[in-house]
Amino acid sequence: MRQKYVHNLILKPLNDTFETKYLLIPFKPDGMKLGRPVANSNSTGNNNGNGSSKGMAGDNSKHFIWGRYLEYGQHQYVGTDNGNFDSRVLSRNHAMISCDKDTGKLYIRDLKSSNGTFLNGKKINDVDVELNVGDVLDLGTDIDGKLEHRKISALVEDIIIVPLIDGTYNPIEDETEKKSNILNNDRQEENLNVVAQRAAFESAMFGDINQLELEDTILNMDNEIIGGIYINNSIGTSSKLLKILKKLAIELSLIRTDYIKLRSVDNYLINFTTNVESVRRKTVELNKDRLNILKETMSRRLNEKQSHLINQYRSSMKLLEKEKHQLQSKYDKQQEQEVEISEKLLREIDDLSTRLEVETYRNKQLNKDLIEAQQKKANTELEERNLKIKITTMSIFCIIISIWYYKKYYI
């Protein structure tokens, strides 16, 4: 049976070491291998040292490339739809990304690589680590400046869930769709039709067939088929012949399925090309109708907005006029008060000037009287000093005469 949905992982380069990759991640226990591509089975066997081609999980391990399972040892290439990178710092089996079918979450784990795997700067081991949008994934480490010796640094840009069966919804997406608001029934029907067409187209492009069930369907009775073919000869039913026939039958069925897919896609493209002109005319008419409706709506809204703005302007003008009259009245009153205050101040200045002149005259008179009084006092003091000097001089003279007289007559 077909898968109901797949997870498309978009890896964006951060150091220009690869082109943006769009990887379809298979469910566990399968996984998308990340690593250096293997040239051929011989080189793989020689590198292993035992001549056998081994993959990630043993001789029978497989990895997922663009909707097909590829056995390890087959020719691989570096493309935007696989996990191969052109860098020598990567191991051939470097890391693996897988999806949990129950939760829809993506996980990455290291496959015991030589230079390690880093998620958001932290090294991971062989235990699954959840991978989210916005995470930075580094594979290996830089050795030198050469492009082939640089690590692979990628950003998980987006994880897209792609439905593969018309009418069947992913439970994870269904929970998200319940939260979305649909405006009307016409828009809802249109969205459902678009989803149905997209699911049918993507189912034809990306759907894969479970090889185990295909083997059970085509080769249900292996021994009986082989026995019927070789019942009358002695070739027998060897295990190698059985494996070859199984592989041929599976490849033929896959080729036939791919051919049917291509025919469906071809018919779809023919119908699309045929109807594109009518769709274009309808789209133009619909756009014209929408444009007219939009013009009418915008004109009505602009008129309403203009009327509202005019009313606001008039109200603002009235308020401004009222405020102007109030301010003018206050200004006139303030001017009158200032004139009255100025006149009062001038009168006070005149009074103070008169008082100043009177006080100045009085001060001059007082200074004159003071000078005269000081002059008289100085003259009086001078006369007293002269008198004291005279008295002192007479006293000294008398003493001298007395001494002279005493010496002359008594000694």
DSSP readout, 83-130? SB---TTS-TT-EEEEE-TTT--EEEEE-S-SS-EEETTEEE-SS-EE
Average pLDDT over residues 338-361: 89
129 within domain boundaries: yes
Q: Is the pLDDT of residue 50 over 50?
A: no
Q: Is the pLDDT of residue 367 over 70?
A: yes
Cα dist from 321 to 27, 311, 318, whole Å: 77, 15, 5
12 within domain boundaries: yes
Asked whether the beta carbons of 135 and 156 are under 8 A apart, the reply is: yes
**Residue 77 or residue 220, greater confidence:** 77
Given 3-state DSSP classes, what are the helix, strand and coil percentages for the chain, each rounded to the nearest 5?
55, 15, 30
CA pair distance 129, 112, nearest whole angstrom: 15
Instruction: Work out how many domains the chain is built from and give that number.
Output: 1
80 within domain boundaries: yes
3-state secondary structure of 74: coil
pLDDT score for 391: 85
CA pair distance 4, 171, nearest whole angstrom: 10
172 within domain boundaries: no
Pair of tokens at residue 264: 């469906």
3-state secondary structure of 338: helix
| Parent domain of 72 | 5-162
pLDDT in tens, 236-256: 456 778 778 878 887 887 888
**DSSP code for 35:** B
CATH code, 114? 2.60.200.20
Site of tokens 């007293």: 384
- Provide the phi-psi class of 403: left if phi over 0, else alpha when psi is between -120 and 50, else beta: alpha
pLDDT score for 163: 66
Strands of 129-131's sheet, edge to edge? 32-34, 95-99, 106-110, 129-131
Average pLDDT over residues 171-182: 44
pLDDT score for 98: 93
228 within domain boundaries: no
CA pair distance 248, 212, nearest whole angstrom: 14
Pair of tokens at residue 58: 């043993």
Asked whether the beta carbons of 203 and 165 are under 8 A apart, the reply is: yes
N residues, the chain: 411
296 within domain boundaries: no
Residue 87 — very low, low, confident or very high, per pLDDT cuts 50/70/90?
confident
* 130: β partners: 107
For the stretch 165-171, contacts whose Cβ atoms lie closer than 8 Å and that sit 24 or more positions apart, written own/partner, are 165/2, 165/4, 165/5, 165/199, 165/203, 166/196, 166/199, 166/200, 166/203, 167/196, 167/199, 168/4, 170/4, 170/5, 170/104, 171/104
Q: Is the pLDDT of residue 212 over 90?
A: no
pLDDT score for 4: 63
pLDDT in tens, 135-146: 999 999 888 767
The dihedral sign for the CA sequence 370, 371, 374, 375: negative
* 388: β partners: none
363 within domain boundaries: no
Residue 266 — very low, low, confident or very high, per pLDDT cuts 50/70/90?
confident
299 within domain boundaries: no
Residue 193 — very low, low, confident or very high, per pLDDT cuts 50/70/90?
low
Residue 408 — very low, low, confident or very high, per pLDDT cuts 50/70/90?
confident
Mean pLDDT, the chain, integer: 75
Among 96, 92, 108, residue whose Cα is nearest residue 53: 92
Phi, psi angle pair for 22, to nearest 5°: -120, 100
Site of tokens 């003091």: 381
Among 68, 24, 33, residue whose Cα is nearest residue 208: 68
